Each structure stands twice: as structure tokens, then as C-alpha cells.
Amino acid sequence: MPLDMPVRETQTLLWLQSGGCGGCTMSLLGAEAPDLFSALDLARIGVLSHPSLSAPGGAGLGDLLRRIQAREQPLNILCVEGAVLRGPRGSGRFHIMAGSETPMARIVAEMARAARHVIAIGSCAAYGGITAAGDNVTEACGLAFEGREPGGLLGAGFRSRSGLPVINIAGCPVHPAWVTETLDLLSLGQLGVQDLDESGRPRFFTEHLVHHGCPRNEYYEYKAAAHEPGQLGCLMENLGCIGTQAHGDCNIRPWNGEGSCIRGGYPCIGCTEPGFGERDYPYLETPKRGGIPLGLPADMPKAWFVALAALAKAATPERLRRNAQAETISRAPGAGSGKQKK
């Protein structure tokens, strides 16, 4: 071992699944370079219990939770996947832990008080997400947020035993590397309050916009837009893409080395954002006023965007104009002088 490498102590991890689809676990199981088990070994993290990775359940899990609550079993990291269901009328009885009569909301709160670090896995656990959308009859919420507003199950002022707030690894589902990198940083003691943004998300992935690294950026720069799903052009102007506003490095380090929503032909719907699930317009539509999209890039003044868009459209190469509304490349870049072929 190199002399300057930090010595890691073994960390214990408990993963609880609340009101959600389990998609974040499915994504995490697909981690690679390194794979999930190698990443846990490298970070010296031992999994006490996980719904998909652990055999013991029922009475065995109940005994583990009692020992953690009594501080007989140390708990370094609590991960919660899925929104917390507080209904009906705050009783939490819409979600009772299997094999018990105890609401999961109560178990999550007790484990959060015992844990050194608390992580919300996915947008449902972070902000309520899709589970809390609409009328929210289940009274679903995030651990420390309700949508965009601080609060949630644990309250805005919650701090774990490490002094950190809930760490929100938002996404629907999360990128597996966001989880493994966060766990690695925690095991090294290198994740502090300054490393979280105003929504509690690790900055290492929210310092980017989904737009960064987008494979359709050439079309975006020239405002060569797709009009129908399946076409190659930019998805922002007509098909509801908000990658210029949503935070995440999805297109810089895509899933399994090559996948992202946009690379698969679907517009970014902002699943890492606190308001995800509460749009007042269809996902595949771009609301406009006077022909100008209402949701403009987060890092560009409106007047600049309007002016540049007009110039870009006037200068759009015929190649891009045609390809934008095609499902496959119909005209390749010209060779030599760069003049457009007629």
C-alpha cells in the first residue's frame, strides 16, 4: 500500500426500501468499472442488509434493526430507496415493514438517528419524486425535502451523527457511479457540507448539466430541431427536452459506457431535480410563448439565447437541417473545402 494512501476503517451499510419501484437498485446492480461488489470491497463497506443482496429477512432483519437502535450494532451508512409513505393521516400504516406491525416511516426515522451518514437513493427518497406526484394520497415525501421545499420525514434541520444533512443522490433511476463514488468519498472522510449543493446533492455530478456532452449538441448549436420522436435533431425546441436546465453528468459518463436517455432518443425530463414529477405539461411537449421555449438554458440570459438562436438558424448547414428531421443520417459532412453539395 502506498504510504500516502488513507487507511480506511470498515464501514457498515444498511439499505432500506420504502415506497418506490426498486429501479435504483436495478441500476446499481449494473455498476461497472468497478462493479458493485468490487466498489464495496475497495471502499471497505460491509452490507448489513439489502433487499436484493441479503438472504436474511423477516425476524432476522427485525433483530438487526433492534440491535442498531440499541447501539449494539454500529451503523455507518443508512441508504433509503423510495419515498417515505406517511399516510393515512400521518400514521405511516400505508407501508408496514414485512413481518412486523411497525410503519416503515418509523423505522427509517429510528435508523437515521443511529446512522453516521444518511443517503437518499433516488429522487423519490430525496424529494418524493413520482411517488409523491399528483394528489399524493399516500402522503409520500423525501427524507428531508417535500418537492422543492425542505422538510420531509426528518425535517429541514436534520443532521446525522457526522454533522451532515441527508445526502440526496437524486435521479430516476440514479446512475450507479453516483452511488459508488459517494460511498467511496464517505469511507475516505472526503465528503463535507461544502461538497453538497443547495438541494443536498453531491456536486461532483450536479456541477454539470445533462446538456454537457449531449450527442445532439451540434443540432442544438444550430437550432436544428427534431419534430417527431425518433428523429436525430435537437429535442429541446419541440419535444420537451430540459437537458440545458437539469443537473447531472449523464452524457459525460453514460450508463454502461454508452447509454443515456438522450442517446436512446428520449428527451431529458429532469429526473434529478426536486420538482420532478410535478410538470404541468406533457413530457414530450415544449411549452412556448411567442414561439420561444419557456424553459431556457440555466446558464444563459434569455436575451442572449433569443439573439443567438436567430443567428444560428440562419446559418444552419443544409446537412443538419435535413438530418435533424430524419431517423438516420441522410447527408454526411462534406469533404475538402467544406462547401455544401447541392
pLDDT tens digits, one per residue of 166-185: 999 999 999 999 999 999 99
Count Cβ atoms below 10 Å from residue 51 Cβ, excluding itself.
14
In terms of domains, do 179 and 274 share one? no
What pLDDT sits at residue 265?
A: 93
333 domain residue, yes or no: no
In terms of domains, do 178 and 296 share one? no
In terms of domains, do 156 and 90 share one? yes
- The number of domains in the chain is 2
Q: Point out the domain boundary residue: 205, 232, 264.
A: 205
179 domain residue, yes or no: yes
What pLDDT sits at residue 336?
A: 45
For residue 289 the three cell numbers come to 410563448
Range of the domain at 291: 208-328
In terms of domains, do 117 and 224 share one? no
pTM (whole model) above 0.85 = yes
Helix (H, G, I), strand (E, B) or coil at 126: helix
What phi-psi label fits residue 71: left (phi over 0), alpha (psi between -120 and 50 degrees) or beta? left
In terms of domains, do 258 and 324 share one? yes
In terms of domains, do 29 and 67 share one? yes
Give helix 104-114 / helix 59-69 axis angle, nearest 10°: 40
In terms of domains, do 127 and 264 share one? no
334 domain residue, yes or no: no
The pLDDT mean for the chain works out to 90
Report d(CA 85, CA 104) in Å as an integer.
8
What pLDDT sits at residue 170?
A: 98
pLDDT tens digits, one per residue of 203-252: 999 999 999 999 999 999 888 999 999 999 999 999 999 999 999 999 99
What pLDDT sits at residue 156?
A: 94
Q: Is 33 exposed, middle or buried (0-12, 13-18, 19+ CB in 10 A)?
A: exposed
In terms of domains, do 163 and 299 share one? no
Report d(CA 86, CA 93) in Å as an integer.
7
What pLDDT sits at residue 38?
A: 96
What pLDDT sits at residue 214?
A: 95
In terms of domains, do 226 and 98 share one? no
Q: Point out the domain boundary residue: 153, 183, 205.
A: 205
In terms of domains, do 165 and 235 share one? no
Q: Point out the domain boundary residue: 188, 205, 222.
A: 205
- The CATH number that applies at residue 221 is 4.10.480.10
245 domain residue, yes or no: yes
4 domain residue, yes or no: no
In terms of domains, do 242 and 144 share one? no
pLDDT beneath 50: ranges in the chain: 1, 3, 335-338, 341-342
- The CATH number that applies at residue 95 is 3.40.50.700
55 domain residue, yes or no: yes
Q: From 19, 201, 164, select the one nearest 92 (Cα to Cα).
A: 19
In terms of domains, do 57 and 138 share one? yes
